[in-house]
Amino acid sequence: MEDKDKSIHELAKENPDKTYRELVQIKEGVCIPGTLRKDVRKSWKKEKNDRGPLDLERQIDELKETLKSKDYTRQHDYKFLVGENKKLHKEVDELKRDNKKLAHHIEDRIDKSRKAGM
């Protein structure tokens, strides 16, 4: 049976060390150069030494990277922007209160002028 006629599953059984991409290339008839094959084998050996999802050293490294990406909260610019945001919220609240007071004041004046006969 020719490689093009085989399914990816059958090719994977025959070549358990190949990646999905390599199996697709085999199925399509694309030739993999020898140097690339060696690189793939080296990377496979490196992956083989990986301890998987329970590798605590790798998890610690990933958490450190995540923490570095979240360090922006400690930067001066971020703190400044948070402070400015709080000030703006206070100002908006004050303006809303003032607007309501003015609206009530205007309503009272209009009612007084209507009662006076205008």
DSSP codes of every residue in the chain: --GGGS-HHHHHHH-TTS-HHHHHHHHHTPPPPHHHHHHHHHHHHHHHT--GGG-HHHHHHHHHHHHHHTGGGGSHHHHHHHHHHHHHHHHHHHHHHHHHHHHHHHHHHHHHHHHTT-
Query: Going residue by residue through the chain (118 aa), what tens digit of pLDDT does each one get?
Result: 565 677 888 888 888 888 888 888 777 776 555 555 555 555 555 555 566 667 788 888 888 887 777 666 667 777 788 889 999 999 999 999 999 999 999 999 999 999 988 6
Give the pTM. 0.35
